[in-house]
Structure 1
């Protein structure tokens, strides 16, 4: 290896495998390679090297790669409106402008106008069609929320433009050259469309080969597809309000997650392809943590601790800054919480958020440097808030509740000169129901 400090990677990788085995987690496989050299390949019963494994949301990253090839070949633009490709689902009545304005780029970065996966509301109806007929909850391109129907629709777009499923199209473009198994497939939904958000059945070695292709393209590739890969794995949208693990709070690209010191493909239940570009290192893990609270965090922490032993640099964490000052009031559109007006002000050190409606008014002060403690008057509960910038125009306000009620309220505000989009979530069992969902407003 070119750098002498990397010589201990095989030993650290072996020790990592032993720690994963001893963790008590149901690990099914662990693979590692660096620069194309296999460092470790291990399996636990009942899985073997030949078994196809459900990879769940890793499928999303394959949809991103297929979209990237279509972009590189000039068959679509990332700023094309998705509704234009599916007129069969958009011709019955006037399409909502928030849906009409949604682009392929919004779908890739999980900034759709939907607050959740659309087809889960009624799986007996066409899953792709549901993406276009479900009423939107907010403007597209504003807030990250995990929307598997977005990836499902991207897979349908690949089929519409190429006549091939995502895997068959990728086999033609890159997978056959990597040795990706012929037996791999993507499960179909009840209406014959590939489950582009969760349906991949493949071998762990397939993911390792795909991981090496992505890493080599990132580091050495040229042309429009390589440029797309570099964009896809970079920070595009904050996820600090959404992520369930430390790594999931590092941001999102185009159907790829950012993680500490790298990026990743993620699948439910502990399916991971983890990339560390500075080390030219790829890890693959398959598991089933669905019934183990904190299992994913444990896997990621064990791997992160191993990587830290190799790296001699600080963690690469997105730490943006926002505007130095702000003072604006917004008229809010109709919303379930009944709020009609939002005011936001801040300077370099502190600020305040105010929400009001016909029957209520809330004033929430905060600081950027420490916890600001106050009383949420409507509920007579003590709160503490320290604001932070999740992106250059995205303010995150986590509100801790301390009193008879114990919990939190989370605000993520996407700011622009003329409009505001606010995502709200309350985590408390009894009260604070008005702080749930989205607010859209225009500057007064």
Structure 2
């Protein structure tokens, strides 16, 4: 159900031809675009989905989640539950703190977590993900610099903000935000990963759909006001989206314009929440506009460059370079001949791998079944079936390749699959369409073993690897 009013582009001062060129440029670019929504003057003027992706599906937002965590901190501060200058160590118990508290750890305040100036020399999240007690691990890490002096992007800092919100409210972050943010915005589909110590991970892991993220962007643009009510203090969003600290050492031009409270400043007086592999909630205060993009890319700057080259001129009322827009926006299933008959045997894969492959079976009808390991410690697997033809919809637990293994989703995710033959190989494609992740698995049987050459489009680990099955099982 639509929550935002729709309008023609022309009625909101934009050219249809310019927006068509913007969509065409996104479609022609190297980054794979999955959904787009543009708001102008409070109205949706552009909404597109590249099939099999859907605007209505939840989408894993990665670090866009941080901006929602910032919102929760602002609400807790407004409720008098903490202040921005409270020491971080004041929220935690003696058994969570190190035996010796360094001067730098003692000096670390909530504001340093918000601005990524904790004093650590690198992101702490990798160290945290190796331990069940992530709070204790964070507090035990060496703080090399005086807090407030050095910007280092640090997802572990956001995890600590979530932990603090949970301590002062008695609720996990998602539960705290549901009645205060998500339900008023209509984002009732929201899910958020939870750590093994039962804390919403905060810095990543939030999944909502494209329109819900557009509602959040519009809330930012309206300084926290929604449907006549002030959901979030205007002063909080004014501070959070302003430049609080410099980040000049960042390489890409849109990542060294300053950092707020879990928001990035950008060129052209914009600010945004952004997440790995091209998830964007981009706000244009001067043009009363919000742009949402979900995508799959390792070159996030390329998407912003397309925005500056094609959308910004449209917002300014200038000419936009013409680019043809395709009649249909889609990411079609790979085409090829039907896979050859398999032997129906199950080939077990015991080696750890980034796709979570545990088993492969190719049946006499050419259908392949992949056993995928579930996240978590129970050792379970689930099956994904890949057959010839167009995308076929499947369902899977909250498991995906290349994702962090220190958290779990409470619900399953939508998946589409397809397969074709390449010589003697079966090539299967799996799209976890509520995420950016895509796996292409090329499978061959020889000498009683299955070899799988895997390619992932994006990943926090390796994107290409080969696994070979154990000796054939007749199960």
**Which TM-score applies when normalising by structure 1?**
0.64
Within 5 A, what are the aligned runs for 1:33-112? 33-112=39-118
Please give the alpha-carbon distance, in whole angstroms, between the structure 2 residues aligned to 1:285 and 1:153.
27
Which of 240, 243, 268 does residue 235 from structure 1 map onto?
Answer: 243
Which of 262, 278, 282 does residue 274 from structure 1 map onto?
Answer: 282
Structure 1 alignment gaps of length 5 or more: 314-444
CA contact (8 A) 1:31 1:42 kept: yes
2:15 is the counterpart of 1:15:
no
Please give the alpha-carbon distance, in whole angstroms, between the structure 1 residues aligned to 2:56 and 2:313.
32
Q: Which moved more, 1:44-53 or 1:100-109?
A: 44-53
Residue 120 of structure 1 corresponds to which residue in structure 2? 126
Relative to structure 1, the CA distance from residue 122 to residue 274 in structure 2 (aligned partners, 3 Å threshold; closer, same or farther) is closer
2:315 is the counterpart of 1:310:
yes
Ranked by relative contact order (alpha carbons within 8 Å, sequence separation 6 or more), the top structure is: 2
2:253 is the counterpart of 1:249:
no
Please give the alpha-carbon distance, in whole angstroms, between the structure 2 residues aligned to 1:6 and 1:87.
54
Relative to structure 1, the CA distance from residue 179 to residue 136 in structure 2 (aligned partners, 3 Å threshold; closer, same or farther) is same
Please give the alpha-carbon distance, in whole angstroms, between the structure 2 residues aligned to 1:284 and 1:224.
21
User: Offset of 1:83 from its aligned partner?
Assistant: 0.7
Which of 286, 289, 295 does residue 287 from structure 1 map onto?
Answer: 295
CA contact (8 A) 2:84 2:109 kept: yes
Q: How many residues align?
A: 305
2:156 is the counterpart of 1:149:
yes
CA contact (8 A) 2:182 2:190 kept: no
2:203 is the counterpart of 1:191:
no
Deviations 1:376-421 (A, max 9, x none): xxxxxxxxxxxxxxxxxxxxxxxxxxxxxxxxxxxxxxxxxxxxxx
**Moved runs in structure 1, 4+ residues, more than 4 A?**
89-92, 218-224
Within 5 A, what are the aligned runs for 1:369-380? none
**Which TM-score applies when normalising by structure 2?**
0.60
Please give the alpha-carbon distance, in whole angstroms, between the structure 2 residues aligned to 1:160 and 1:23.
45
Q: Aligned to 1:217, what secondary structure does the other structure show?
A: coil
Please give the alpha-carbon distance, in whole angstroms, between the structure 1 residues aligned to 2:122 and 2:272.
22
Residue 296 of structure 1 corresponds to which residue in structure 2? 300
CA contact (8 A) 1:98 1:138 kept: yes
Residue 320 of structure 1 corresponds to which residue in structure 2? none
Please give the alpha-carbon distance, in whole angstroms, between the structure 2 residues aligned to 1:43 and 1:161.
40
Q: Aligned to 1:57, what secondary structure does the other structure show?
A: helix
CA contact (8 A) 2:15 2:314 kept: no
Deviations 1:233-282 (A, max 9, x none): 0011111202x421111111000000112100010100000000111100
Q: Aligned to 2:89, what secondary structure does the other structure show?
A: helix
User: Offset of 1:14 from its aligned partner?
Assistant: 3.2
User: Offset of 1:127 from its aligned partner?
Assistant: 1.5
CA contact (8 A) 1:56 1:268 kept: yes
CA contact (8 A) 1:89 1:133 kept: no
2:171 is the counterpart of 1:164:
yes
Relative to structure 1, the CA distance from residue 281 to residue 267 in structure 2 (aligned partners, 3 Å threshold; closer, same or farther) is same
Relative to structure 1, the CA distance from residue 167 to residue 222 in structure 2 (aligned partners, 3 Å threshold; closer, same or farther) is closer
User: Offset of 1:20 from its aligned partner?
Assistant: 0.3
User: Offset of 1:5 from its aligned partner?
Assistant: 11
User: Offset of 1:65 from its aligned partner?
Assistant: 0.4
Relative to structure 1, the CA distance from residue 251 to residue 84 in structure 2 (aligned partners, 3 Å threshold; closer, same or farther) is same
CA contact (8 A) 2:63 2:203 kept: yes
Residue 137 of structure 2 corresponds to which residue in structure 1? 130
Q: Aligned to 1:231, what secondary structure does the other structure show?
A: helix
